[in-house]
Amino acid sequence: MVTESPPLTKESPSEPSEASRNIHRTGQHTVEVVSDSGEGAQKCGQIFGTVCAKMGNGVWTVEIIPAEIEPPARLPAGASGNRIRIGTGPVTNWGDRTNLMVAFNEQVLLARHRLDALEEGAVVLLEDKWATHDDEEIRDEWKAVMEELSAFSYRIIEVPMEERCLTVVEDPRRGKNMFALGMLAWLYDLDLELVKDQIAHAFRRKSEEVYGRNVQLLELGVDWARENLDFRIEVPREPTEQDMIVMNGNQAIALGAIAAGMELAAMYPITPATSVSHHLGEVFERFGGVVHQAEDEIAAAGVAIGASYAGKVAFTITSGPGMALKTEFLGLAVMTETPLVVVNVQRGGPSTGLPTKVEQSDLLAAIFGQPGDAPHVVLAPATIEGCFHSMITARRIAETLRTVVIVLTDANLATGVQPFARPELDPAWQAPPPDLSPAPEGTRPYEWDPRTGLSRRFIPGQPGGMFTMTGLAHDELSQVAYSSDTNQRAASMRSRKVAVFQGTLKPPKVYGDASGGLLVVGWGSTRGAIEEAVDRARAEGLSVSSLHLTFLSPLEPGIREIFSRFKKVMTVEINYSDDPDAPYITEENRRRGQLAWLLRAHTLVDVGCWTRVLGEPLRPGVIQRVMRANTTEGGTS
């Protein structure tokens, strides 16, 4: 028999034959593995997600990260792990709530519950050792949590994880994650050989013995689940003919930089951007590439600019606080027309803010954050695949326009794992070796073509091209500007090339009907959640479409015309805006979402906004409610 939901009656071990009959089949399912920090829930979740992807499920994984490396045990604030949403067909976002959770203690379960992470009726596989712990205080904490949760319809299954693991390992903190992986492998019928391959990869720097012990723990988990659980979950898989790869956004950025032929990444450690340099650090040298860990964020920008000036375009990668520090150098790169790619993996701000959490609050700073007039390009990929390709695009634009290209991703993309079509690598994506042929007689270092604002770049080593690049206002010969019209002309040339570039962009495509009631506009990592919400809203009969922008500066063309086809236009973003109903807020003083500011300024359309800074990705169900509230007359199309 196939049921639509796990049976809620069984709390005790049952016959395996019964479990194989209780198969809950669903088009999508969301799993969380949460533990104290340092217990390895993330590794478990990552491997589970990767194997699901390899077997033909759509997958989206996000990390649940505490602020500290190893906060005290059993604290709700220390919950660490992964949410893995799997589906039949592509999964583009983390969804609404979790259907099944493996929790290593009741406190992390409570933390997730309080964050409204669990679906009604969710199944929780919970480590049981705390119920009978020697410490009375812990037993009381357990009781209190059980009491609080008893008012909800979760099905909590107590699992003797530690007891079982101690038959193989001495330190129970090392091993539960593989036991949990074993339970999940059985529940979702994973190919154990694929799981073992992933374990081998995860522990590639450890001994054979470590690998063997982890496989043993995995098998313990499989056995326990087979003997004790009375249901399994089937999310039908659609293995594709197409070659697919699966990775997170930071890995995609790293590989994209390699595919773009870049050879130097300069960085300073900052969450959540640093893992790009971890991935690069591991492989970049095989491509002749250098990851330079600079003494600070400012130096990282300077080294990248120095390298770009002397040859191939280099890049620097950071997050909000680092962007703030690099600002002066970005202005220098714009002024000297030195190509530079900057990746900003956005996190919550301002200041140190929410280092591990998603936010889209750096948009206006990225576009306008450089004192003086500093026209450049800002783009934001919306998917993991987009992260890969954005580096190739950014490198090419930076080189062609001789300017700064800022790639805005965020913590959601950085840690989100999603399979995508394996790119067909093209040598044309890569920067050619620097042209060091002699500069033609009489050419000037800023010989701006008035039709395009573009000029040819001279590189040290080119005979006859010697000049001094300067951040001072300068003329075509790179001589310091002393006459009144020099600066006006140079500024207009730097601006013109961006306008010319904008003319080469295609208008964005509307998702859903090309005209109608409500148009929701988004940018960056929210695309999957917004489009899922559009699908659901349209299924309800609401007249809703969405528009997702990749280029934020310059904006893609035709936006104003698209807006004119809808009764109402609003943005949905992960940044702060005043609630229109909040005290003191008026139409005049209301601070709006950052894309809304930008679109209002550019189009003179009364673009509304709905934004939140909850430190988590947007949930499609929440966006759907916003769409309902913003469609006129109940939103019939």
* Smallest gap from residue 188 Cβ to another protein (A): 16
* Smallest gap from residue 291 Cβ to another protein (A): 9
- Choose which of 114, 133, 201, 509 interacts with another protein (CB under 8 A): 201
Q: Is the dihedral of CA 627, 344, 83, 549 positive or negative?
A: positive
Residues in the chain: 637
From residue 326 to residue 345, the character string flagging contacts with another protein as x (rule: CB under 8 A) and all else as - is: --xx--x---x---------
Radius of gyration of the chain (CA): 27
- Choose which of 312, 376, 548, 612 interacts with another protein (CB under 8 A): 312
- Choose which of 72, 121, 212, 461 interacts with another protein (CB under 8 A): 461
* Smallest gap from residue 284 Cβ to another protein (A): 9
- Choose which of 147, 243, 441, 581 interacts with another protein (CB under 8 A): 243
| Burial label, 586 (beta-carbon count in 10 A; 0-12, 13-18, 19+) | exposed
**Binders of another protein among 472-491, rule CB under 8 A?**
472, 479-480
Token couple for 63: 């990390």
Q: How far apart are CA 555 and CA 379, in angstroms?
A: 9
Q: What are phi and psi of 230, to 5 degrees?
A: -110, 15
Q: Is the dihedral of CA 163, 169, 171, 175 positive or negative?
A: negative
- Residue 246 makes contact with another protein by CB under 8 A: yes
Q: Which of the stretches 3-11, 73-81, 176-184, 454-462 binds another protein when contact is defined by CB under 8 A?
A: 454-462
* Smallest gap from residue 290 Cβ to another protein (A): 5
> End-to-end distance of the chain based on CA atoms, in angstroms?
40
> What CA dihedral angle connects 584, 585, 591 and 593, to 10 degrees?
140
- Residue 191 makes contact with another protein by CB under 8 A: no
- Residue 441 makes contact with another protein by CB under 8 A: no
CA distances from 67 to 76, 109, 348, 462, 518 (A): 12, 17, 12, 50, 38
Per the DSSP assignment, residues forming a β-bridge with 290 are: 264
**Binders of another protein among 586-615, rule CB under 8 A?**
none
From residue 7 to residue 46, the character string flagging contacts with another protein as x (rule: CB under 8 A) and all else as - is: ----------------------------------------
| Burial label, 557 (beta-carbon count in 10 A; 0-12, 13-18, 19+) | middle
From residue 349 to residue 388, the character string flagging contacts with another protein as x (rule: CB under 8 A) and all else as - is: ----------------------------------------
Q: How far apart are CA 59 and CA 48, in angstroms?
A: 10
Residue 35 or 383: which CB sits closer to another protein? 383
- Choose which of 115, 200, 210, 294 interacts with another protein (CB under 8 A): 294
- Residue 211 makes contact with another protein by CB under 8 A: no
* Smallest gap from residue 371 Cβ to another protein (A): 12
Q: What are phi and psi of 611, to 5 degrees?
A: -140, 155
Q: Cis omega before residue 272 (within 30°)?
A: yes
**Binders of another protein among 44-103, rule CB under 8 A?**
53-54
* Smallest gap from residue 416 Cβ to another protein (A): 14
Residue 41 or 304: which CB sits closer to another protein? 304
- Choose which of 188, 203, 231, 309 interacts with another protein (CB under 8 A): 309
From residue 254 to residue 293, the character string flagging contacts with another protein as x (rule: CB under 8 A) and all else as - is: -x--xx-x-xx-x----------------x-xxxxxx-x-
Q: Which of the stretches 22-30, 81-89, 252-260, 360-368 binds another protein when contact is defined by CB under 8 A?
A: 252-260
* Smallest gap from residue 259 Cβ to another protein (A): 6
- Residue 216 makes contact with another protein by CB under 8 A: no
**Given strand 566-573, what is the order of strands in its sheet?**
510-511, 544-549, 516-523, 566-573, 608-611
**Binders of another protein among 407-436, rule CB under 8 A?**
419, 422-423, 425, 427, 430, 432, 436
Cα angle, residue 539 at apex, residues 534 and 544 outer, rounded to 5°: 35
Q: Pairing mode, if any, of strands 155-159 and 377-379?
A: unpaired
- Choose which of 40, 175, 221, 302 interacts with another protein (CB under 8 A): 302
**Number of residues forming the site for another protein (CB under 8 A):** 71
**Would you tell me the crossing angle of helices 320-336 and 297-310 to the nearest 10 degrees?**
30
Q: How far apart are CA 126 and CA 533, in angstroms?
A: 32
- Choose which of 75, 210, 245, 325 interacts with another protein (CB under 8 A): 245
Pick from 498, 452, 455: nearest CA to 478: 455
